[in-house]
Structure 1
Amino acid sequence: MRFGVYHVIMSFVSRRHFLNTSGATLFATQTLGQAANSKRIKAAQIGTKHPHAEGKFTTMLDLDDVFEVVGLCEEDNTQRERVSTRRSYQSSTWLTEDQILGDPEVKLVAIETDIDHLVPTALRCLKAGKHIHLDKPAGQKLAPCKEMHHEADRRGLTIQMGYMLRYNPAFEFLFKIVKEGWLGEITEVHGHMGKKASSGLRKELSQYPGGGLFELACHLIDALVTILGKPNDVHGVHVKTQRDAFKDNQIATFQFDGALATIGSNHNDPFGGPRRQFTVVGTEGTLAIQPLEPPKVSLALTKDRGKLKRGTQQIPMPKTEGRYHGEFRDLAKIVKGEKSLAWNSEHDLIVQESLMLASGLPLDD
């Protein structure tokens, strides 16, 4: 692709994805990080049972220019023994939850418990005055989720949900061109996230009535709500492909004014990773992301948009600093008061309600 076109793409995607693209930039980043050590945010993590727990903790350690990680908590002794020898945790300080919440210098807590303990733990952190990064999904009941967001809003604290695709460069590009009107009126969206679940993962996820879609495809529902807002109607279809309790093959439809969307998840798909995709169709263009990580993007336009020409073209995406680095760099700016989170509590509650309906979970209020 010509340099001019690539420059257009770069202008749409946050510069955080280019931190490590040159030696000069890396040197500048290290120098600034050393100078700013005294202003680093003290952070901690509660929980190690979430599938993303180790990755999130490693990311905060890696971002030592913005975070001083004081330690982590795992109050299940069996789990702690199981994970304490992992490289990411070996040199870490193990703390109790009370030690973390009682330390006024700890400003941020990443919450990486199992799903059912995410929201109760978040609420305790908020009441202790902590900003939080909360992994997904936000529990199986709507009322506690509402209480959590109300507490955060009342205290002026931030809840950053762990929907990592928000900071994927392809989705950043998508959100911006939709906002700019490049695709015209959105009429259709299709998304899918699947994998080949092991017997252990099937057993673990079978405890959640919402099935695999509830645990995994919530990322795509967050993206859907970002571009189209609250759906008027949501319906889910759920199939079991094996003789166990796990709803492993699901699809949900979402109806909006003038638009339809489908989001699916299949946990019995041996090629689920490369088949993960998100496609947005509008009256003036279509954007398709497949696979999602690392993203490959195809854009079709009915007319020229700056350096991008009418017709179908492949859009190169920049290499990211890391899977979770973007969200934690953004969160650091928010905690420091330099900006506000782009997704508010109203958005997050719409996502949670839509996810529950799509997964076949009852709304409890």
Structure 2
Amino acid sequence: MKKLRLAVYGIDHNHCAAKVSELKSMPDLFEICGVYCESKEAFNRRGKEKCYEDLKFMSEDELFSLKDLDFILVEPAVPNLVKFAKVCIDKGYHIHLDKPAGVNLKEFEELLNEAKNKNLIIQMGYMYRYNKAIRYVLDNVKQGKLGNIISVDCQMSTGLDSNFKKNFLMSYGVKSPAMYIYGVHLIDLIVTVMGKPTRVIPLNKKTMIGDLDFEDSGFAILEYPNAVCTVRVNASEVNGWERREFVVCGEKGTIQVKPIENPTQIIECYKNEAKSWSSCGHEVGLTPQDYRYKDQFVHLSKMIQKIESNPYSYEHEYLVHKLTLEACGYRFDE
């Protein structure tokens, strides 16, 4: 593959620095040609991270004057993601867009439609699509090893301090910030396995920990004709990281990933080895994955160079975001 040139458009997303670091760890594949920081406040929060030490910060005009850019990494603060993405798509660039994609579903739909009409790639920042343990489960589902799927249960929680909740989650301007920022990853996985549900039932709550008045605890049911799938998130859970999980149950077997990352463990059990009243699962050996985003960017490079196609359609991206907003408590006319 040829080496791709990219620019970073906005740095105030919580995932930006880690993505820049992982891109820089693949110098044979990627060259970061410039970085645009959206404000002095954002620079004071993020701009002194080690990953930016040898990169050139520049104005917005300078960034879009760079020659032969192959794609743009769109990483502003969460409320500005779609606005920044639209600038790039309007100018004809492929993008990697962090998530979530805004509270205005219509704006995101218009962005996707414009990208589709221009044949531009929008790679969403759902990193679990490229997690080795998750891929193992999805591959087994696709190969039919689990048979008909009867349930998918997911959890993605963490224990955040009050300052982080106030400065970030509560600034997103959504009904249920925890479901919005974490649940979107899980809903993406459920839709990948199950397709479109018949309805979404949100059950989000305020724990009031730290006297913070916002929905930091979320639960949603995605209902299917022959299955019920669940999403649980919590921004205030002690040791929530260890309980991050993805469990797929089929008529022929069950696979559980828990924790999802750092470390990762997969337990699987198939019908021919199952016992009704005792544990029978066995662990699946997996090469440790000490990174989060590399495989995602390698795949983006292959898509841009037309070596591989995008397995996630524009319609899939729209549906995932619509369902996420429904899980947050929003409703849309069909």
TM above 0.5, yes or no, is yes
1:241 aligns with 2:204: no
Contact 2:176/2:218 (CA < 8 Å) preserved in 1?
A: no
Query: What percentage of residue pairs aligned between the two structures are identical?
Result: 30
Contact 1:48/1:54 (CA < 8 Å) preserved in 2?
A: yes
1:331 aligns with 2:300: yes
Q: Determine which of 267, 277, 280 is the counterpart of 1:298.
A: 267
Q: Determine which of 50, 56, 72 is the counterpart of 1:93.
A: 56
Query: Which residue does 2:29 correspond to in 1?
Result: 66
Gap runs ≥5 in structure 1:
1-35, 305-310
Distance 1:49 1:84 in 2: 9
1:258 aligns with 2:221: no
Name the amino acid aligned to 1:206. M
**1:364 Cα deviation from its structure 2 partner:** 8.0
**1:104 Cα deviation from its structure 2 partner:** 4.2
Q: RMSD in angstroms over aligned alpha carbons?
A: 1.6
Name the amino acid aligned to 1:174. V
Q: Determine which of 118, 129, 145 is the counterpart of 1:166.
A: 129
Q: TM-score, normalised by structure 1?
A: 0.85
Query: C-alpha deviations, 1:192-226, integer Å up to 9, x for none?
Result: 11111111121121233222111112111111111
SS in structure 2 of the partner of residue 209 of structure 1: coil
Q: Spell out structure 1 runs of 4+ moving beyond 3 A.
A: 362-365
Query: Which residue does 2:310 correspond to in 1?
Result: 341
Name the amino acid aligned to 1:188. S
1:219 aligns with 2:167: no
Gap runs ≥5 in structure 2:
274-279
Distance 2:268 2:112 in 1: 36
Name the amino acid aligned to 1:216. Y
**1:318 Cα deviation from its structure 2 partner:** 1.6
Contact 1:83/1:89 (CA < 8 Å) preserved in 2?
A: no
1:283 aligns with 2:229: no
Residues 187-206 of structure 1: pairs in structure 2 closer than 5 A: 187-203=150-166, 204-206=168-170
Contact 1:190/1:262 (CA < 8 Å) preserved in 2?
A: yes
1:209 aligns with 2:172: no
Contact 2:176/2:204 (CA < 8 Å) preserved in 1?
A: no
The alignment of Structure 1 onto Structure 2 pairs a total of residues equal to 322
- Cα 1:104–1:337 change in 2 (3 A) is farther
Higher alpha-carbon deviation: 241-250 or 186-195: 241-250
Query: C-alpha deviations, 1:331-354, integer Å up to 9, x for none?
Result: 111111111111111111110011
Contact 2:9/2:74 (CA < 8 Å) preserved in 1?
A: yes
Distance 2:180 2:38 in 1: 26
Contact 1:140/1:361 (CA < 8 Å) preserved in 2?
A: no
1:351 aligns with 2:317: no
SS in structure 2 of the partner of residue 184 of structure 1: coil
Q: TM-score, normalised by structure 2?
A: 0.92
